[in-house]
Chains A and B, each alone.
Chain A
């Protein structure tokens, strides 16, 4: 079988380049037209500025000495620049009551299982809902997603009672289990919908090739689901990392299992407001989600399915 020769006297590369140029060119012109309204640009710049100022102020504050923070606003920093790393040192130390170091470690201990457990369970459940035909499948799927309606606050006390009865109170298990429970309905829904998007011919082809459910899931579907898993993973990571309510309820105020959000909350209220520690602590807490997001965002690339089907 031989390939077809192009009708025009152009190499395939040239033709592809031509097409790409014209398509991209047209899209660029359209986008430019829509975006070059001077008023729209002006409003966008103003909004961006307003939104960034408080965060920027926090950043500046975190580098100022404690006394300067308590006596003058952060904007005076530009007239009287005076920087120190003491705040960060205090925040990152694991000793003393002001150190957030232990909380920081706890946050990692909490967040990693709390992301992995729901993803693993949701992948299996989503596969069953998407590709295994069983009685009452649709009703059960609706029921699972309907759990999303139940407000977290309603579940806190009953859950805590259960944990205490089971002897889990005060351990990381309470937080891992709670986050997994709260995440599962949405995780199953998102992963199920993504799995349904994968053409059924691909699963049928794998079945004809002799693959059972396990091999279909791990060899064919999982590699194609990286974007969905990454998307949900980031989502769940941010939610768990930034969570205060669940952690505060199940871990209590003690440092043993409490995450950094609880530590920050303590700084801002329980004994005076330690502005110099709060600002530095916030930035320590922010840096991790930012790194995770940047590391995983490449999985958001579209078109992972490209090429498998049709011409």
Chain B
């Protein structure tokens, strides 16, 4: 087993100005499950491919354990990768697929067979060992791809969105299976996904990337409770956080006639480039529905109610004097607010509800730089 270290690793694709991955500094602990997450084009797959050796590193270094592997061939890095489309060899049986690496390495037949059978047992593939990939279902193919990695007993597993080709139900099931398998094998794993739910549920730690830049690394709880900037705040969590930029006056953020109190320390932390404005984020579950007329409440016109059984989410927009001013945005779009409400008492469409932000549950960010203000 080994640690993985990205040391200012940079990748610039030929013919482009901006680096796809820009001076990535990241340390993965021994045996850790690290998830790289971000929107498409953020450089997460490129980072993984750099670690795999499939992509050149233009600057910086990559280490596995204490060994500098920056210029080492993929096969000599002692890693195994699971591809998004599985990349199984179509003309080989499941057993041959899983044993291919060992065969190339010149291992004796008996050892290959026993290691393949062992992996097949772990993955519940024993009865399919003599089939070709085309005779398998999507989930089984995914497991063969996992098996191909396990058989090699590598120091690091690399997984590039291995669940994105499964249907929703199977994805949830396989998610927990991969996570528990990784805990059992204790192999350092770097996992790439664009799905923040996958990231939160599977990772020991999560690294969020955007435009080739690392935004934040931390445990799922860290990411959720203390997002380092506006981007992470909006990206992690489902439904997404509501975010708004407001003018500050007398220690209050002004939302029309509604005032949201801002701690004194946060006000003093603001700099010149913030222009006396502050960005406030509040999660859908940090809002309380209150009776109309409550001071400092925010009126929300209900557009859609999503009922999930255990929860209900109101997708609404600001009304009255606050409406259509581009004050707020959320995962649902401009001027939209998402509110979690009691699933037993959902408002009707077209109704106006009033909400307040629960004290202490708002997230404060610099309006200029987008960085978190710790208050």
> Could you say which residues of chain B place their CB within 8 Å of the CB of A85?
none
> Could you say which residues of chain A place their CB within 8 Å of the CB of B84?
201
A210 touches B101 (CB 8 A): yes
Interface residues of B in 169-206 (CB under 8 A from A): 169-170, 173-174, 177, 181
B74 touches A208 (CB 8 A): yes
A211 part of interface (Cβ distance < 8 Å):
yes
A307 touches B85 (CB 8 A): no
A199 touches B87 (CB 8 A): yes
B140 touches A3 (CB 8 A): yes
Interface residues on A, range: 20 to 34
B63 part of interface (Cβ distance < 8 Å):
no
Report the bound CA distance from A201 to B82 in whole Å.
Answer: 10
B52 touches A201 (CB 8 A): no
Question: How near does chain B come to A210, taking the closest CB pair, in angstroms?
Answer: 4
Report the bound CA distance from A2 to B143 in whole Å.
Answer: 10
> Could you say which residues of chain A place their CB within 8 Å of the CB of B90?
224, 304-309
B141 part of interface (Cβ distance < 8 Å):
yes
Q: Pick from A4, A303, A306: contact of B139, CB below 8 A.
A: A4
A12 nearest CB neighbor, chain B only: B137
B83 touches A204 (CB 8 A): yes
B267 part of interface (Cβ distance < 8 Å):
no
> Could you say which residues of chain B place their CB within 8 Å of the CB of A70?
none
Question: How near does chain B come to A183, taking the closest CB pair, in angstroms?
Answer: 26
B249 part of interface (Cβ distance < 8 Å):
no
B85 touches A208 (CB 8 A): no
Question: How near does chain A come to B188, taking the closest CB pair, in angstroms?
Answer: 16
Report the bound CA distance from A1 to B75 in whole Å.
Answer: 28
A215 part of interface (Cβ distance < 8 Å):
yes
Given A201-B83, A207-B54, check contact A309 B88 (CB 8 Å).
yes
B101 touches A209 (CB 8 A): yes
One digit per residue, 1 when the CB lies within 8 angstroms of any chain B CB and 0 when it does not, for chain A 191-221 equals 0000000010110111111110001000110
Q: Pick from A208, A220, A303, A306: contact of B89, CB below 8 A.
A: A220
A208 touches B80 (CB 8 A): yes
B115 part of interface (Cβ distance < 8 Å):
no
Q: Pick from B88, B148, B169: contact of A4, CB below 8 A.
A: B169
Q: Pick from B81, B86, B100, B148: contact of A309, CB below 8 A.
A: B86
Known: A205-B88, A306-B90. 20 other contacts (CB 8 A): A1-B123, A3-B124, A199-B85, A204-B83, A208-B53, A208-B75, A208-B101, A209-B75, A209-B152, A210-B105, A219-B100, A224-B90, A303-B134, A307-B132, A307-B134, A308-B86, A308-B134, A309-B85, A309-B86, A311-B141
Q: Which 5 A-B pairs have the closest CB atoms?
A: A307-B134, A311-B138, A308-B90, A209-B101, A307-B133
